[in-house]
Structure 1
Amino acid sequence: MSAETMGVEEEFLLVDPASGATAPLAEKVVARASAADLPVGATVQRELRDTQVEAATGVCGDAADLRAHLAAGRRAVATAARDHGAVVVASGSPVRGSGGAVPSSLARFAAIDDMYGEVTRDYEACGCHVHIGVADRDTAVAVVNHLARWLPTLLALSVNSPFRRERDTGYGSWRIVQQSRFPGSGLAPYFPDHAAFQAEVGRLVECGVVADEAQTFWLARPSPRLPTVEVRVADTASTVEEAVLQALLTRALVRTALTDLARGREAEPVPAQVAAAAVWNAARYGLVGPAVHLGLYRRVPAVDLVAALLDHVRIALTEAGDLPEVRALLDQLRSGGTGADRQRRVAAASGLGAVVTALTVGDEPAGLGYSGAALPPEVPHG
């Protein structure tokens, strides 16, 4: 992959439509979905819990190509799940009861369960992972350093997991709160090169807090298996369009970082505690509250950072021909609210069962789209 190309991995929940609880059917659903007519390079695979599946696109060159891959993957897993009496739900965490206590049937995931104990028992967190091609691993590390200050804003745009076991958590992304319980979570430390990055991962393995060198919890990293930067900050998107928005913004951030690096501009390290505060604020409030500015080190409105992000990547978006589409998608998000905002709106109007139905993946567009009046400046949380 090059910086012109991108790919996306989407994690989904398998849910019993009668009860709304997650259903441990991953083995059957993946087997059926993998036999579908998927685009070249696209795959369907298992995740940590047997109640989850992941649909990954192939290598895509533009938004139209990516949109087609995402829609095909969603159709494949949705059809396979229906064949086994389940539905696929696009949420960062389960809305209703959890079936996550069922041990994983895969040896590596079972070993992870054994390592982390209760932390992973109900860990059914689902993310949207964006891969952008880079030339080499040292470049990947340098790009990740540049991305750090913008990752909380990508999270704020994506929050889509406000509920846990039928309760409103008060957070836009409960998934990020769950992930913060693992060692080495949040924004990655600043690394001068890939050797330093690899040495730190090796130390975590030696300390016994990650299973192997492929398992880190940082929100962006050099991919351990692909020539890409992998950005894992976003909750699973309720719609294809929101996944496309994450991918286009991420590609533009990578391109902007590569331009800065070519001009000899290295990123400034972000203080660890301020970085953690920025991630927490984004998970808590999404777009409807404060955010932490990782240059000024103070709170500002989250929407101001979205505007700053768009300014930062404007040239890269223009050169790729993506600026009009990104503007339109951001306008939709501002009007309709984040996934978390829309989940709460549906819950208030019709109950949690309606949220599960609205989040169910089928023929695109997904049920929990952008319909409804624009959100007020503040949305009350629990």
Structure 2
Amino acid sequence: MRTFGIEEEFLLVDPATGMAAPVVGELLSRMDATGSAEAAVRLVHEFKQEQIEAVTGVHTELAGLARAIREGRAQADTLAREAGVRVAALGAAPLATESRTVPAARCEALQERFALTAVEQLTCGYHIHVGVDSPAEGVAVLDRIRNWLPVLAALGANSPFWRGVDTGYAGYRTQLWGRWPSTGPLDLLGSPEAYRALVGQLLRTGVPLDEAMLYFDARLSRSHPTVEIRVSDVCLRAGDAVLIAALARALVETAAAQWRAGIPPAPTPTATLRLAMWQASRSGLEANLLCPVANEPVPAAKALATLLDHVRDALRRHGDEERVEDLLTELVSRGTGAEQQRRTARGSGSVEAAVAEAVRLTHQD
């Protein structure tokens, strides 16, 4: 069984106003004081004081990962409630706020170097680590999953609002995140040596602060034997997070099998993948996506069916097929997180109501 684990970034919000609340330091101090730092899911700070991140352990079974996702959300919210705030799974801060950088040396260095891009950064992503047997397998996987990542981004689209307005995008976090100079899809690489050469070349430019700042859509982890997939907004509902994690693991398993069988990666230009990701960010599942095989516009339902067919054998090997089909049917029937946020805002006439509903759905089992 190929292993996987996840990282979910959450927004800390004032339940009365929906505004982001800069209290992560208080939360983590409280956690250390009570000894809950030894919990199965680790809670850590991110870049801004209005965020908290839940990091699971390593899992082989989807059911175990699903439990960890729910536990991470519950643990974070328990701490948040003690500080008078709540945890919300929102891909971007919906209301205008002057966010505060975590007082750590690296965070302060990022803000100093990247100026307004860093000042205005307040987004929450969802990162999935999938185990690989070697750097060679890892790079082979990176080469073979790149076409499929925009579909995962569309499934997880959960950031329609920014600074109090509807952006017109389902996943506006992708647009905000793209302001950093080291984001986006990778070119085809072919070998670990080519990957390391690219990393070295980028670091020698002096633009990225360090290797951790190479925010590729998918990358080799620096500290674990994993491929890290980084394209999705944090998911509004825990079940959607489970679905995307299962699909990500199946994509990695399928890519590794293709590599072992000598099947070459699709030679899609990186510029085309940027367009595919923009389209996923713009419309989520509500309009066309670029087909991961033909690179032509197709209805989102067809793109999803193509993805499911592509990874079906891997889902069966992991015992995830039925669960994934159920979760995917559920997501498509009610819409992405972005669609749910917009429905609430339209029905109530306020973005603040969408934040309050997001808090509820974040913790709905």
TM-score when normalising by structure 2? 0.95
Equivalent residue number for residue 370 of structure 1: none
1:352 aligns with 2:351: yes
C-alpha distance in structure 2 between counterparts of 1:270 and 1:363, whole Å: 36
Q: CA distance change for structure 1 residues 362 and 27 in 2, over 3 Å: closer, same or farther?
A: farther
Q: What one-letter code is carried by the residue in structure 2 that aligns with 1:92?
A: G
Check whether the contact 2:47–2:101 (CA below 8 A) recurs between aligned residues.
Answer: no
C-alpha distance in structure 1 between counterparts of 2:38 and 2:317, whole Å: 30
Q: CA distance change for structure 1 residues 308 and 25 in 2, over 3 Å: closer, same or farther?
A: same
**Could you tell me which of 187, 194, 197 is aligned with 1:196?**
194
Q: Residue 77 of structure 2: SS of its match in structure 1?
A: helix
Q: Residue 8 of structure 1: SS of its match in structure 2?
A: strand
1:127 aligns with 2:125: yes
**Could you tell me which of 198, 203, 211 is aligned with 2:209?**
211
Q: Residue 214 of structure 1: SS of its match in structure 2?
A: helix
1:70 aligns with 2:69: yes
C-alpha distance in structure 2 between counterparts of 1:263 and 1:173, whole Å: 35
More helix by share: 2
Q: Deviations over 1:241-291 (max 9, x none)?
A: 011001100111111111111111131332021111000000000011111
**Could you tell me which of 140, 143, 151 is aligned with 2:141?**
143
Q: Deviations over 1:106-156 (max 9, x none)?
A: 110110111111011121111111111011122111101111010000001
Q: CA distance change for structure 1 residues 116 and 364 in 2, over 3 Å: closer, same or farther?
A: same
Equivalent residue number for residue 372 of structure 1: none
Equivalent residue number for residue 104 of structure 2: 106
Q: What one-letter code is carried by the residue in structure 2 that aligns with 1:316?
A: A
Q: Residue 213 of structure 2: SS of its match in structure 1?
A: coil
TM-score when normalising by structure 1? 0.91
Identity over the aligned pairs, expressed in percent? 37
Q: CA distance change for structure 1 residues 194 and 292 in 2, over 3 Å: closer, same or farther?
A: same
1:14 aligns with 2:12: yes
C-alpha distance in structure 1 between counterparts of 2:68 and 2:30, whole Å: 18
Equivalent positions of 1:24-43 (< 5 A) are: 24-33=22-31, 35-36=35-36, 40=40, 42-43=41-42
Q: Residue 209 of structure 1: SS of its match in structure 2?
A: coil
Q: Say how many residue pairs are matched.
A: 362
Q: CA distance change for structure 1 residues 346 and 360 in 2, over 3 Å: closer, same or farther?
A: same
Q: CA distance change for structure 1 residues 270 and 39 in 2, over 3 Å: closer, same or farther?
A: farther
Deviation of the 1:85 alpha carbon: 1.4
Check whether the contact 2:289–2:299 (CA below 8 A) recurs between aligned residues.
Answer: yes
Deviation of the 1:363 alpha carbon: 8.1
Equivalent residue number for residue 90 of structure 1: 89
Deviation of the 1:297 alpha carbon: 2.8
Equivalent residue number for residue 376 of structure 1: none
Q: What one-letter code is carried by the residue in structure 1 that aligns with 2:62?
A: A
Q: What one-letter code is carried by the residue in structure 2 that aligns with 1:13?
A: L
Check whether the contact 1:282–1:291 (CA below 8 A) recurs between aligned residues.
Answer: yes
Q: CA distance change for structure 1 residues 269 and 113 in 2, over 3 Å: closer, same or farther?
A: farther
**Could you tell me which of 275, 278, 282 is aligned with 1:277?**
275
Q: CA distance change for structure 1 residues 33 and 324 in 2, over 3 Å: closer, same or farther?
A: farther
Q: What one-letter code is carried by the residue in structure 2 that aligns with 1:335?
A: S
Q: Deviations over 1:45-82 (max 9, x none)?
A: 11011111100111112121011111111111101111
Deviation of the 1:96 alpha carbon: 1.4
Q: Deviations over 1:2-33 (max 9, x none)?
A: x6211010000111222222111111212334
**Could you tell me which of 292, 302, 311 is aligned with 1:313?**
311
Deviation of the 1:210 alpha carbon: 1.0
Q: Structure 1 unaligned segments of length 5 or more: list them.
A: 367-382
**Could you tell me which of 227, 230, 233 is aligned with 1:232?**
230
Q: Residue 241 of structure 2: SS of its match in structure 1?
A: helix
Q: Structure 2 unaligned segments of length 5 or more: list them.
A: none
Q: CA distance change for structure 1 residues 363 and 38 in 2, over 3 Å: closer, same or farther?
A: farther
* Segment drifting more, 157-166 vs 62-71: 62-71
* Segment drifting more, 27-36 vs 173-182: 27-36
Equivalent residue number for residue 374 of structure 1: none
Q: CA distance change for structure 1 residues 4 and 361 in 2, over 3 Å: closer, same or farther?
A: farther
Q: Residue 281 of structure 2: SS of its match in structure 1?
A: helix
C-alpha distance in structure 2 between counterparts of 1:331 and 1:33, whole Å: 38
Check whether the contact 1:131–1:231 (CA below 8 A) recurs between aligned residues.
Answer: yes
Q: CA distance change for structure 1 residues 154 and 90 in 2, over 3 Å: closer, same or farther?
A: same
Q: Deviations over 1:154-181 (max 9, x none)?
A: 0011100000011000001110001111
Q: Deviations over 1:200-251 (max 9, x none)?
A: 1222222122111122121111111111010011100111101100110011
C-alpha distance in structure 2 between counterparts of 1:361 and 1:60, whole Å: 27
Q: Residue 105 of structure 1: SS of its match in structure 2?
A: coil
C-alpha distance in structure 1 between counterparts of 2:273 and 2:255, whole Å: 19
C-alpha distance in structure 2 between counterparts of 1:142 and 1:161, whole Å: 31
Deviation of the 1:37 alpha carbon: 7.4
Q: CA distance change for structure 1 residues 275 and 362 in 2, over 3 Å: closer, same or farther?
A: closer
Check whether the contact 1:13–1:88 (CA below 8 A) recurs between aligned residues.
Answer: yes
1:58 aligns with 2:54: no
Q: Residue 185 of structure 1: SS of its match in structure 2?
A: coil
Equivalent residue number for residue 158 of structure 2: 160
Q: Residue 171 of structure 1: SS of its match in structure 2?
A: coil
Check whether the contact 1:57–1:69 (CA below 8 A) recurs between aligned residues.
Answer: yes
Equivalent positions of 1:293-312 (< 5 A) are: 293-312=291-310
Deviation of the 1:362 alpha carbon: 8.2
* Segment drifting more, 147-156 vs 355-364: 355-364
